[in-house]
Structure 1
Amino acid sequence: MKIKDIDISILKILFEDSRTAYAEIARDLDLSRAVVTNKVNAMCEDKVINNFTIDLNYENIGQEIHVMLEIETSPQENTEIRDTIFKLRNVERIFTTSESKLFVFAYFPSMQSLNTVIQEEINQIKGIIKIKTNIVLEKRKKIPF
């Protein structure tokens, strides 16, 4: 599916708030509600839109520390390590690179809980070569159009 300018405009609105009513999007873009509905449905069918989701404010639920762990793994055990780490309660997402590295985004209520998870859970996983801990100071995201 080739993304058209109108699709991008709809995506930008939904990216900011996926609960935005189609009628409101139609009004903002000077389109009919049916056109917006059809466009969104088509983007869902074509897997341009995978999910309508929420963006949590982790600080407001007691998860003050946001980290990005860069974990170098043994290539043979990368997938198993990824799956094990992804099951940890504090992990939000994981990216795997071609260099047998995992970039793990996680939230913790305190530095002590972060240290405990690293020392008592992650460090105990066979095949991990090195862990680099990066404290995230600011998080921004945007739609890449």
Structure 2
Amino acid sequence: MILDEIDRRLLSMLAENARLSLKELAATTELSSPSVAERLRKLEERGVIDAFTIDVNPQHIGYSLQAIVRVRPLPGQLHIVERLIQEMPQCVECDKVTGDDCFVVRLYLRSMEELDTLLDGIAERAQTNTSLVKATPVKRRLPGLSP
């Protein structure tokens, strides 16, 4: 899928602030607002843009801990473990991966007790390895948009 310079600029701007108006996007790209709207519509239709969203700071809503949990389901438990992970409201992201583990799960938690409760819920079906996040030197971002 080929993006031109204007598409890349629009995506970069929206990744920084999804609330930018069409007028602001148009001024930066030197296009009209209707032209920008049409480009955004086409990017959505092509599946380049999935959603316009907000970024909430979990600490400000009571989630002081973040954990990365590697999960290795026991034989025959893969689909059950996957469903249990999907049902955890504290799970904000889960990747199915290759290697020794099957899943890498990112959890936001209010306490260590909450972490223990979640892990106890899958302990009979999977082995886990947990790391607490101290800092996030690189936050989720777009990959390079160069041509």
Offset at residue 75 of structure 1 (A): 6.2
What is the match of residue 34 of structure 2? 34
- Cα distance in 1 for partners of 2:43, 2:15 equals 13
Of 130, 134, 138, the residue aligned with 1:137 is 134
What is the match of residue 85 of structure 1? 85
What is the match of residue 107 of structure 2? 106
Gap runs ≥5 in structure 1: none
What is the match of residue 71 of structure 1? 71
What TM-score do you get using the length of structure 1 for normalisation?
A: 0.88
Matched, 1:6 2:35: no
Residues 30-39 or 57-66, more deviating:
30-39
SS in 2 for 1:95: strand
Q: Is the 1:94–1:105 contact (alpha carbons within 8 Å) kept by the matching residues of 2?
A: yes
Q: Is the 2:81–2:122 contact (alpha carbons within 8 Å) kept by the matching residues of 1?
A: no
Q: Is the 1:23–1:33 contact (alpha carbons within 8 Å) kept by the matching residues of 2?
A: yes
Identity of paired residues, percent?
24
- Cα distance in 2 for partners of 1:58, 1:45 equals 31
Offset at residue 54 of structure 1 (A): 1.8
**What root-mean-square deviation, in Å, do the aligned CA atoms of Structure 1 and Structure 2 show?**
1.6
Shift of the 23–76 alpha-carbon distance from structure 1 to 2, 3 Å rule, reads farther
Q: Is the 1:85–1:91 contact (alpha carbons within 8 Å) kept by the matching residues of 2?
A: yes
Q: Is the 1:92–1:107 contact (alpha carbons within 8 Å) kept by the matching residues of 2?
A: yes
SS in 1 for 2:81: helix
Q: Is the 2:26–2:33 contact (alpha carbons within 8 Å) kept by the matching residues of 1?
A: yes
What TM-score do you get using the length of structure 2 for normalisation?
A: 0.87
1:69-111 Cα distance to aligned partner (Å, 9 max, x none): 1111246432331121110121111100134510111100112
